Amino acid sequence: MADRSLEPNQKPSVTRRTFLGTTLASGAALFAGGSDVILGAASSTAPTMITNPTWQLGGDLPVNRLGFGAMRITGEGIWGWPPDRENALKVLRRAVELGVNLIDTADAYGPETSELLIAEALHPYPKGLVIATKGGLTRPGPGQWVPNGRPEHLKQAVDGSLKRLRLDRIDLYQLHSVDRKVPMEASLGALKEMQDVGKIRHVGLSNVDPKEIERARKVLPIVSVQNQYNIENRKSENVLVYCERKSLGFMPWFPIGGGGGLKPENPLEKVARDHGV
């Protein structure tokens, strides 16, 4: 019998609808996971978070469900330095002041710029702050995103992120994208080696489907998945269902429809449609 929990067109449950509502209200990345996610709808009367406001990342790292995605603190097109460097630093510090204790970044953001700014703004890091970064997706030039899952590259990427973030160990290191030219097992084997020597605490995945998660979990423990998911794009609904069933963390990227996908409807078009014009 087919596992209906993995069907891509399954309608969202109330949990996921409220998940989206809170995401839209927050305007920031939301860390969610497991079937115990209970988030309030985005309205003036409903609470923004009903219960269980934290998630145990990997079973030992408590993080608030509302995290900070540090992709946009870079320059235009996620390339280079931001036009107002001081403001970017202030935004990072303010996020932590407001209670954010999970910051998500990647070596591809800038590239390297986001990680450098995080360290500049927040190091020495306050107790309990979890820094998650990603590797395996390179930036040869503006607008270019090229997967590189070669083991030697990933090992160098981990060392580079450790240096830029001024860390001895990365709390969560996520494979940014599966490289179709390299067996996933080889890529993850390299990350397991880095985990075994103490450079990575937990490993996650990004831009994957349930079958790829299953393959990855045969190589090493996976604690989180980061895919695009928002009110417009529900293609990863089956991945979210999988994460709920397996008690994995789910981190949506573009949680409020970043990238220009969500645009206000032209009111004239609505009137015309209502009148059959």
Nearest 5°: CA angle at 179, between 173 and 182? 105
Q: Three-state secondary structure along 136-189?
A: CEECCCCCCCEECCCHHHHHHHHHHHHHHHCCCCEEEEEECCCCCCCCHHHHHH
Q: Which residues of 147-173 are buried (b: 16+ CB within 10 A; e: fewer)?
A: bbbbbebbbebbebbbebbbbeebbbb
Residue whose structure tokens are 């940014």: 176
Name the token pair of 85: 């460097």
Name the token pair of 54: 């934290």
137 contacts: CB under 8 Å, gap ≥ 6: 106, 108, 145, 146, 147, 148, 176, 177
CB contact at 8 A, 232 and 257: yes
Active site residues: 109
CB contact at 8 A, 226 and 104: yes
Which one, of 174, 165, 157, 149, lies nearest residue 113 by Cα? 165
